[in-house]
Structure 1
Amino acid sequence: MPSFLYVLECLKAKHQMKGCILSVDYSLSPEETYPTAQDNCVNAYRYLVHDLGLSPSRIIVAGDSSGGNLAATVLLRIRDQRSDPVLATIPPIPLPAGCALISPWVTMDLPQRTEKYYCDYVRISQIDYYRQNYVPRYDSMEASYREAFIRQPFISPLHGDFDDFCPTFVSYGGGELFEPQIAAFIDKLEKQHHVSVTVVSRPKTGHIHIVEPHVCRSKEIWRQDLTKFVDWCASTGGH
């Protein structure tokens, strides 16, 4: 909530823009598994565009951590609407002005911990637990099938095709567990798919530092980096 309030206040004070935030109360695992949360978020975006009639050019889709995974995969589904059996028959859903990914969980492959990541609070055991609860029938899958399943682009966006994707903002901590995977994702967006990417990173900071002041190194660093996010939102979705 402090970050939501800061974003809205900064948009108004610095950019003379009135913003609104729709926070999606999507279904969580282990009660619900893939793709339920993704469907919830697709429907939330459709609500903004189809029901409220908001122009996609004024919308930024954002998420942090596992929410970053959802933001990226939801927009891949929307881009590929006509080949999606659930979305193919409904009216067109254009991509938004931009996608913001804050310390996104870009692959279900387990990260590797080294001494570099001493300042992060995320643990490999946590990630393994979360993926087992998110992926349906994880424990009952044969190993080679499971490996292929978790690398599907709609589950692990690191392995996706982002051609014709919207401008993307990526923030991560230089000392977080996901750092190598996020860096590989950024490199893929920029070099393979020529996506416009704005990156905010800071050494010796951990997971989701720009939206959670209590885990950031200081309130000043939190404000500085969150302001960069606000500036990007204003320039990307302010048309």
Structure 2
Amino acid sequence: MSQNELNNILSMLQDFSWGDTLAEMRANFNRCFSLPSHPTAQVQTLDADGVPAELITLPNSDPDRVILYLHGGGFVMGTRQTYRRIASDLAEASSARVLVIDYRLAPEHPYPAALEDTLTAYRWLVETRRFHPSQVAIAGDSAGGNLALAALLSLRDTKEILPSSGLLISPYCDLTQTSSTIDTHGHLDLMVSRTLMDTLTAWYAPHENVKDPLISPIYADLSGLPPLLIHVGAAEILLGDALRLAHQAALANVAVELKVWQDMIHCFQLFAPMLEEGRVAISEAGAFLQHHWSPKNRYEQETDRTMLASLSQSPASRYRTGRSLPR
């Protein structure tokens, strides 16, 4: 383990403060997690059917493979610019392109706004940009991991073709905060606390039952989901969420891989440019995504697209905005 690199990051986080106001929280979050740009990444600004987005391409990116990435930040912080570096690193590791979206943030836009934007972006990739779902993966960290999982559940329930796989990094999937590690690991986690999560939950779902499976996916029936990879640090309070999620996925006959990273902090992959374990984790995640992209022949893809077109006329179409952009 690169102890010196980790110690440098921990030292930086010791002095980190979320601030007292929403504006301070957002500014401090973006300042802390904005890392140097990837030297070879190309960034294209897009409108994903009304959702602001960036498409990140590396020299090795296969144009027929794309990852929809949902950033973290407790549903109230973070931007596509803040997460540009980790998206670029993941694009390089997976030999794909990455679409990072600016979903609407709470408290101005509470649940279900962020999930609606996630589903809009996915359907835009499939219906407008003409990616077959088998060419798409969905990924997210922390609150973004929640949104990635909730999106998979929503797509399953509306009987849409699911993406190839899901990558969940330190997912925040139980807003009721019942995992034991929230208390047992509180002294280890320099980024997240029960008090912070109380505030974020109150802003994200002020009038909702937080046991709703689309708000707290830990309470969902996970059957029928595509293969999942869950990464979590051993020194974070959301360790228990990840352990429970992997257990429930396995019981639901979902192909799931869980890796707990010794001594690692919440979303340590964000620090990959300065942390060896972050680089290794992103490399392993890229390999996982590559493994589960299974190319279909043209006949199979067109058959599935015909089914997608028919579904767009079904009740599931009520979730779509109807706007489109040329590829």
TM-score by length of 1: 0.82
- In structure 2, the residue matched to 1:44 is 121
CA contact (8 A) 2:150 2:214 kept: yes
* Within-5 A mapping of 1:1-239: 1-11=84-94, 17=95, 19-81=96-158, 93-110=160-177, 111=179, 112-115=182-185, 117-137=187-207, 149-190=209-250, 192-213=251-272, 219-239=275-295
CA contact (8 A) 2:87 2:100 kept: no
Q: CA deviation at 1:238?
A: 5.0
Between the aligned partners of 2:93 and 2:212, the Cα distance in structure 1 is 38
- In structure 2, the residue matched to 1:141 is none
Between the aligned partners of 2:175 and 2:185, the Cα distance in structure 1 is 22
Q: CA deviation at 1:114?
A: 1.9
Q: CA RMSD in A?
A: 1.7
40-49 vs 197-206, greater mean Cα deviation: 197-206
Between the aligned partners of 1:99 and 1:135, the Cα distance in structure 2 is 24
Q: 1:119 to 1:136 in 2, by over 3 A?
A: closer
Between the aligned partners of 1:32 and 1:201, the Cα distance in structure 2 is 33
CA contact (8 A) 2:171 2:241 kept: no
Q: CA deviation at 1:6?
A: 2.0
Higher strand share: 2
Structure 1 gap ranges (5+): 12-16, 83-92, 139-148
Between the aligned partners of 1:117 and 1:170, the Cα distance in structure 2 is 23
Structure 2 gap ranges (5+): 1-83, 296-327
**Secondary structure at the residue paired with 2:140?**
strand
Between the aligned partners of 1:116 and 1:52, the Cα distance in structure 2 is 44
After superposition, the C-alpha distances for 1:106-136 in whole angstroms (9 at most, x for unaligned) are 1111253225751442111110000000013
Q: CA deviation at 1:10?
A: 3.0
- Residue identity in the other structure for 1:3: I
**Secondary structure at the residue paired with 2:99?**
coil
CA contact (8 A) 2:186 2:193 kept: no
- In structure 1, the residue matched to 2:19 is none
Between the aligned partners of 2:104 and 2:269, the Cα distance in structure 1 is 24
CA contact (8 A) 1:120 1:177 kept: no
**Secondary structure at the residue paired with 1:101?**
strand
Task: Give the number of the structure whose alpha-carbon radius of gyration is greater.
Answer: 2
Identity over the aligned pairs, expressed in percent?
A: 26
Q: How many residues align?
A: 209
Q: 1:49 to 1:173 in 2, by over 3 A?
A: same
**Secondary structure at the residue paired with 2:237?**
coil
172-181 vs 107-116, greater mean Cα deviation: 107-116
**Larger relative contact order (CA 8 Å, sep ≥ 6):** 1
**Secondary structure at the residue paired with 1:211?**
helix
